[in-house]
Amino acid sequence: MKKALAFDIGGTKIYSTIIDEEGKIIADIDKFSTPKTIEGIKDVLKKQIGKFEQDVDFIAIATAGAVNNENTAVIGSTGNLVEGYYTIDFQSLSSKRVFLENDANAAAWAEYKIGASQGSSVSVMLTLGTGVGGGIIINDRLLKGKSGAAGEMHFKMYPDKRRKCTCGSWDCFESYASGTALKWDAEEALNNPDVTTYDVIDGVKNCDNKMIEIFERWQRDIAIGIMGLANLFDPDCVVLSGSMAQFVDIKKIEDEVNKDIVTAPTSVRLATAGNYSGMIGAVLLGAKEVK
Amino acid sequence: MKKALAFDIGGTKIYSTIIDEEGKIIADIDKFSTPKTIEGIKDVLKKQIGKFEQDVDFIAIATAGAVNNENTAVIGSTGNLVEGYYTIDFQSLSSKRVFLENDANAAAWAEYKIGASQGSSVSVMLTLGTGVGGGIIINDRLLKGKSGAAGEMHFKMYPDKRRKCTCGSWDCFESYASGTALKWDAEEALNNPDVTTYDVIDGVKNCDNKMIEIFERWQRDIAIGIMGLANLFDPDCVVLSGSMAQFVDIKKIEDEVNKDIVTAPTSVRLATAGNYSGMIGAVLLGAKEVK
């Protein structure tokens, strides 16, 4: 059975382990703080590759940022990684094939193969974390688009420039549905720049009505975005993953989405492929490509 | 060469002609007012089928409303056709195979095969008319979704219930980007319920500043919707068709879309497959299915 040395490269942490072609994690999970320089990131990768390369068939990397259709390079800048990250020649770090995919795309594939969207002809996955990631699978294929960057959850929630998005544009779904967005909602509602996402979550747990109202607005915005996606893709299901997904009321969102849907009712589900679904998905995708 | 008797069934008119499998129209275009009863619609179809059935290999129908994945039936109600339209058993009207597809999907396929989006790996088509239709083609396949209804342009432009959409929900893209939406924009801006879409178009032609402002708002809303679609699908191109497409400034919309795009720049184009692209696309799609 093929196996791969897997990485998940995010803005704050790099994870690494060995995963087999069925998606089973077969080694310890190594964890590193993401270096703030390109050389630093390359050093982390090189050290791991040096240790484990001989034991695996290929290297699979789930990374922040859009990945090209050849799965060899990151295209363009990624907000929360070091400037110039996309210039890294990942293949040069190993003699084995290095397979890259965007982290949200990879996680969506893991959900499709071993998680919550198994058997779906069309599925949409949203990762609700610091930002919002997206991965769309149609007829057993990841939607990549002409450049590889498809699935960006940057459609507008307002047309009239209210809230700056991290992407440089205004009012994208990400800027209303992310964990950071929940903080912004609270800042606006409470006129307090110091309130945090977790203040809201704690407030909801403690039945604070104001915090509940803020949370409900955030959750309704997520439902409104999903409704649009459901009308575009007519998916079997929409899977929610990421650190913020555990806090939402899945059933309530599903009801809200289906109340006004013009296609056919869809199913909203919590992700089940676990915290390392990015690495698992990258390995499952890579295993199809690497002979 | 295969040929088909084609129909385009819309809210006000039914068109019919004969088209060959290369998309060439090889007979006169017949035109009927759409009857207001199911029996009336069936009579129009039956009369044409009786006349031409023996000359063709199959029947191809581009119709308002979502069409199932088997291309045999309309699913659910369609706003501007008679109540219960979806109960029509189209196959019972002919001894030849009757192939159905949604009109916007069919027109998108015609653009892909003989029109403006030829050669695109991913393309999105919008028909800007009384309403807004959509057809999305990914890797040589129409995006149909689990039920066949994908490509509905009912994502929200506002999350806070401002304008009722014809679909029953609120603030969908359709209700800001259609010809009717331009009338609504004008009604709101001028506080005049009698102003028409064509008053605005005429005003723009006559350099009326207020009408230009109304038109620009409408056109900006179209660009904002396309930007979201471009970030989701990363398409080679977005094709605009329908009666309103002729009035928009394609280059301006393309610039607006690409200014803030997070994927990769896309091309916005005017449709070129002509007024009968729905019928042509239905025949081209049907020809793949009918042996």
Parallel, antiparallel, or unpaired: how do β-strands B267-270 and B237-241 relate? Answer: parallel
Question: Helix B103-114 to helix B277-289 angle, to the nearest 10 degrees?
Answer: 80
Among chain A residues, CA nearest to B167: A262
When pLDDT is cut at 50, 70 and 90, the band that residue A80 belongs to is: confident
- Residue B89 touches partner A, C-beta closer than 8 Å: no
In this structure, the answer to whether residues A31 and A154 fall within a common structural domain is no
In this structure, the answer to whether residues A254 and A285 fall within a common structural domain is no
Give the span between the Cα atoms of A100 and A59, in whole angstroms.
8
Q: Which of B145, B172, B221 sits opposite A263 (nearest CB)?
A: B145
Measuring CA to CA, which residue among B36, B22, B53 is closest to residue B280? B22
In this structure, the answer to whether residues A92 and A123 fall within a common structural domain is no
In this structure, the answer to whether residues B125 and B265 fall within a common structural domain is yes
Among chain B residues, CA nearest to A256: B169
Would B113 be classed as within a structural domain? no
Amino acid at A135: G
Q: Which of A145, A155, A233 sits opposite B228 (nearest CB)?
A: A155
How far off is chain B from A234, nearest CA to CA, in Å? 5
Give the span between the Cα atoms of A144 and B143, in whole angstroms.
14
Give the span between the Cα atoms of A147 and B230, in whole angstroms.
11
From its phi and psi, is residue A195 left (phi > 0), alpha (psi between -120 and 50) or beta? Answer: beta
Helix (H, G, I), strand (E, B) or coil at A272: coil
Contact B234 A150 (CB under 8 A): yes
Contacts of A220 in chain B (CB under 8 A): 159
Contact B150 A263 (CB under 8 A): yes
- Residue A54 touches partner B, C-beta closer than 8 Å: no
- Residue A163 touches partner B, C-beta closer than 8 Å: no
- Residue A11 touches partner B, C-beta closer than 8 Å: no
In this structure, the answer to whether residues A31 and A138 fall within a common structural domain is no
Contacts of B173 in chain A (CB under 8 A): 228
In this structure, the answer to whether residues B146 and B181 fall within a common structural domain is yes
In this structure, the answer to whether residues B260 and B284 fall within a common structural domain is no
Contacts of B122 in chain A (CB under 8 A): 145-146, 150
In this structure, the answer to whether residues A98 and A125 fall within a common structural domain is no
Among chain A residues, CA nearest to B220: A159
- What is the length of chain A? 291
Burial of A291 (0-12, 13-18, 19+ CB in 10 A): exposed
Residue A7 has pLDDT above 90, yes or no: yes
Residue B284's domain spans which residues? Answer: 3-107+275-289
Between the CA of residue A269 and those of A4, A262, B116, what are the distances in Å? Answer: 29, 20, 38
3-state helix, strand, coil split of chain B in percent (to 5) is 40, 20, 40
Q: Which of B148, B149, B233 sits opposite A145 (nearest CB)?
A: B233
Q: By the 8 A CB rule, do A62 and A13 touch?
A: no
Enter the ipTM.
Answer: 0.95
Phi then psi for residue A80, to 5 deg, are -105, 20
Mean pLDDT for the stretch of residues A35-57: 97
Q: Which of residues 107-146 of A touch B (CB under 8 A)?
A: 120-122, 134, 136, 138-139, 141, 143-146
Measuring CA to CA, which residue among A22, A1, A2 is closest to residue A280? A22
Q: What is the per-residue pLDDT across A116-160, written as a single tens digit (0 to 9) for each?
A: 999 999 999 999 999 999 999 999 999 999 999 999 999 999 999
Which tokens go with B227? 């930007």
Helix (H, G, I), strand (E, B) or coil at A124: strand
Q: What is the per-residue pLDDT across A156-202, written as a single tens digit (0 to 9) for each?
A: 999 999 999 988 899 999 999 999 999 999 999 999 999 999 999 99
When pLDDT is cut at 50, 70 and 90, the band that residue A79 belongs to is: confident
Q: Which ranges of chain B have pLDDT less than 70?
A: none
Between the CA of residue A179 and those of A158, A255, A260, what are the distances in Å? Answer: 19, 22, 26
- Residue A3 touches partner B, C-beta closer than 8 Å: no
In this structure, the answer to whether residues A147 and A221 fall within a common structural domain is yes
pLDDT of residue A78: 73
Q: pTM, whole model, 2 decimals?
A: 0.96
As beta bridge partners, residue B259 has none
Which tokens go with A207? 């039945």
Q: What is the per-residue pLDDT across B36-65, written as a single tens digit (0 to 9) for each?
A: 999 999 999 999 999 999 999 999 999 999
Between the CA of residue A19 and those of A42, A91, A291, B50, B92, what are the distances in Å? Answer: 21, 19, 16, 63, 55
Give the span between the Cα atoms of A270 and A117, in whole angstroms.
10
Number of domains in chain A: 2
Contact A264 B147 (CB under 8 A): yes
Among chain B residues, CA nearest to A221: B159
Residue B105 CA from chain centroid, whole number: 7
- What is the length of chain B? 291
Would B112 be classed as within a structural domain? no
Mean pLDDT, rounded, of chain A: 96
How far off is chain B from A52, nearest CA to CA, in Å? 34
pLDDT of residue A276: 97
pLDDT of residue A190: 98
In this structure, the answer to whether residues B166 and B253 fall within a common structural domain is yes
Q: What is the per-residue pLDDT across A221-247, written as a single tens digit (0 to 9) for each?
A: 999 999 999 999 999 999 999 999 999
